[in-house]
Structure 1
Amino acid sequence: MVANLSTVTKIETDTWVRATWEEFLRVAYNPVYLQGRSYYDLGHMRIEMAALGSSHGHDNALLSIILTLFTTLKKIRVQQFLNTSFRREGLQECQPDCAFYIGDDFKVLPRGNSPIDVDLVGAPSLIIEIGASSINDDLGRKRVLYERLGVREYWAVDVAVAEVFAFSVAEGRSGRIEVSEVLSGLAMATVEEALRRGWQEDDAAIGQWLMELFV
């Protein structure tokens, strides 16, 4: 259900609320909501304030390890961003858990504290959202947001069961895949196995297993 921003005195968080771009900026950068993550698309905004527990945090860290090892051992150019805002001025903004520019075509992005301008540097090749309570939204409205943003691939990770829903995106539409296309040869089954190992093994043991697998 979508609420109307003009009818509420306190913004309902962790849901989509109807808003203009100006209203989104006013709310998202209000000190009350700065600790949250902000999304805007198709005239609606979402501020996520739900606490992030150990499952979310560790899966986020493991995904970074998995992709860093894979790209390093396969000698794939990559630049990674965690919890970073991406913006198309007046149209879209998102703050995914992980984002990656991959391949030979991108230029290393300059440092700075402003949202990354997608119109200027292009959309990330791969975006990953990690969710438990938010997984339905990750598979729904956020998936549409990233299709429109122009990413080439999108993963939604359900931390409760270590399942990765991976989608290839082309011409504003997405379809599920079992092997990454932007990271050729990386199977979702491998990513899921690494996440499940994280329930009982330490990161170094998982990293060693991955290196033996990737070389």
Structure 2
Amino acid sequence: MIHGAGDVGWYWHSVEDALRARGHDTVAPDLPCDDDSAGLPEYADTVVEAVGDRTDLIVVAQSLGGFTAPLVCDRVTVKLLVLVAPMIPAPAEAPANYWAHTRYGQEARDHYDDTIALFYQDVPPELAAEALKRTRGQSEARMGEASPLRAWPDVPTRVLICRDDRLLPTVFQRRVARERLGITPDEIDGGHTPALSRPRELTDRLEAYAAEQGLLGDRDEPAASRRPGGGTPSR
């Protein structure tokens, strides 16, 4: 599970708890996003190292994590890629160029100067405050570098967008997903950070996607017996 810009793996904690309660293994590393010496290759290194020898993998990425996720899919065997409220990169695109390349500035949208209003408007206040305390500065030092991505990985891909996303509005997200991946995204209610505002609904969606790929195994088994080696995917 790959977090977005200036964030930490904690962002996924409620979804991780829900998935683990259902018998899944999860890993959500902290990317070196505040390190000026780190770029997309180092972000991918961090995820690959965290994955270790896990198998039956589903990679889930949020926001800027969409730039790291396909690089991970090029390096480890992945059964399914799920992009949540994502930035969807084109091959060799630098993250800093994403906004101009996708014509983001031409989209009609409201503007918010307050971080909570933009990212956490539907997150419980105490959780939003905790998220703000945990955020880190996103280094821009290497965001102008071209991504090592040469082509979208040959992995089943789903895009899940949020109807109330104030950063990446639905009209924008639908267009970019169609233009870049030929995908019509699925939609849920909520803002840009659904792992905090709607963890149960997001968890249900992830399991539904896994089931579509035949990755869940026998759901009648006790949760404790459903492990990555026994047919239940890691995320």
Same fold (TM over 0.5): no
Larger fraction in strand:
1
* Structure with greater contact order relative to length (CA < 8 Å, sep ≥ 6): 2
Higher percent of residues as helix: 2
Which TM-score applies when normalising by structure 2? 0.28
